[in-house]
Amino acid sequence: MSTEKSLVVAYYKFVDLPDFEARKQPLLEVCERNGVKGTILLAHEGINSTMAGPEAGVEAVLDYLQNDPAIGALTVKRSWADECPFYRMKVRLKKEIVRLGLPEVNPNDQVGEYVPPEKWNELISDPDVILIDTRNDYEYEIGTFKGALDPNTKSFREFPEYVKKELADKKDKKVAMFCTGGIRCEKSTSYLLKEGFEKVYHLEGGILNYLEKVDPKESLWEGDCFVFDNRVAVDHSLQKGDYEMCRACRHALTEEETQSEKYVEGISCPHCFDTLTEEQRIRAAERQKQVEISKALGRKHIGATVLEREQWREMKLEERKKANEKRGEE
């Protein structure tokens, strides 16, 4: 068995890709040919991906993309894992590469001021700056910047509502925002500017770039950073953190939480135990049975990647919201 470490890369770019559908199959073939796994999202507005594999293979895929005149240079965040954190390669076609639900918000038109990691501490130490974590509640819970506000969102689509409720009277204030790799802030800052906010900033390259560039002794980051692959979270050195993931609700779990009587591997955890339906428990139990069979046979159970599960979570939340609205009308 190979002992070669796996190179993990995250990148995105907002760029006009009117032919994005035709790009799917050639890109998938390049990835498979080079032993690269993960998820790539393609949409008219651009590309978004986290993928991993042997260093030479990953770099070959990046070269393929960057040699495409329509895409060009990419800003890539690199880290390493002892083994590939993905089980398969998926290239998916989407309406948005990060789902805000407001197609009129286009980062190619305008975005907030980029702040490099080296200047971030100075900005967020200003008491007049409103610091907002644009990620979801389960991401905020395991790590964030000192003093950051939690919008308590279950999905990024809820962020505009948070802005309208909590920030509408603060349009003249300095607002600084951050997310994992920077992509959500491209849209969140664009949205705020469109809504009339005057001074909007965001962390260039996101949390991952900050953790890579800033000395831990000078860091204002507290905790670990949730990542969209099977490592679950990374620490300040971008090494795998001490978290497991609940396969039922996809929440990051501490070692203490895995000792809870409400934790049943693959079926439930303290975060979802009281909300799961009997049907969901049965499905989870069957899925866990398949995982255990695969382990016994020495195979990896092929499940959805974390990025795919995040998209699934947002889709289900949207379906639930529409169902509730329909019931309200009746």
pLDDT of residue 275: 87
pLDDT of residue 301: 46
Low-confidence ranges of the chain (pLDDT < 50): 1, 301-309, 312
pLDDT of residue 103: 84
CB 288 within 8 A of CB 266: yes
If one counts every other C-beta atom within 10 angstroms of the C-beta of residue 159, the result is 24
Whole-angstrom distance, CA of residue 148 vs CA of residue 145: 6
* Tokens, residue 114: 């980029």
Active-site residue identified among 179, 185, 269, 272: 179
Phi/psi class of residue 144: alpha, beta or left (left: φ > 0; alpha: ψ in -120 to 50)? beta
Instruction: Look at the alpha carbons of 258, 259, 263, 266 in this order and tell me if their dihedral is positive or negative.
Output: positive
| End-to-end alpha carbon distance in the chain | 60
Helix or strand run (H / E) with residue 139:
helix 137-142
Q: How many residues does the chain have?
A: 330
249 belongs to the catalytic site: no
Phi, psi of 302 (to 5 degrees): -85, 105
